Structure 1
């Protein structure tokens, strides 16, 4: 189970680090082609979501790696499930109704959360 956790959480963390960094580092004009919903939110909220994704990715990796507060990995996985559920709601209320990636990320985060309970 430990190897499975590192594979699944590592993939989720890499995706979230990339996605979060893009949101934090780019302006609205560079984000618009990738994310149609950025025009419906304040730029500060987009940057905050990116920061949350980066911190969540670190929360998936660092606590189990260091052995310090490993329950934070479970909290990060639950946070990702909630974040992606919110993302699905945002996509469905706007003109961009593509949610397949978000549904996949919900499933990945749920599996990560289940695997994180093996050492608690």
Structure 2
């Protein structure tokens, strides 16, 4: 089970790091074309979300690899899960439909599952 949690941590970290970097480096117009919800928020908020996603991705793996402050690993998972719950709520509030909210719901579920297992039955 520990190996599966490491794989999940790396997969989640890759997804959130890529998403965060895209939010930081992509021009606003391109972001709006790809993800229309961006037009509802100032660019500073979108960039802030990108920074949080990158920090969360780092928090999923780095403390465990360094064996320092390993409590940060499940906390990062919980924080990313909460972030994705709010992302799903944004899509639902906008009326984007279930298909637009589904990736956020899946990521929230995986992140919360990861956090729960690292807090509980399989701590570092």
Shorter-chain TM range is: over 0.9
Aligned to 2:56: 56
What displacement does 1:89 show?
1.1
Give yes or no for contact 1:4–1:115 (8 Å, CA) kept in 2: no
What displacement does 1:17 show?
0.4
What are the equivalent positions in structure 2 for 1:26-37 lying under 5 Å apart? 26-37=26-37
After superposing the two structures, state which structure 1 stretch, 10-19 or 24-33, moved more.
24-33
Aligned to 1:22: 22
Aligned residue pairs total 120
TM-score normalised by length of structure 1: 0.94
Structure 1 unmatched ranges of 5 or more: none
Residues in 2 aligned to 1:106 and 1:96: alpha-carbon distance in whole angstroms: 18
Root-mean-square deviation (Å) = 1.1
Deviations for 1:30-58, whole angstroms, at most 9, x for unmatched residues? 11122110000000000000000000000
Structure 2 unmatched ranges of 5 or more: none
Residues in 2 aligned to 1:36 and 1:106: alpha-carbon distance in whole angstroms: 20
Higher relative contact order (CA 8 A, sep 6+): 1
Aligned to 1:108: 110
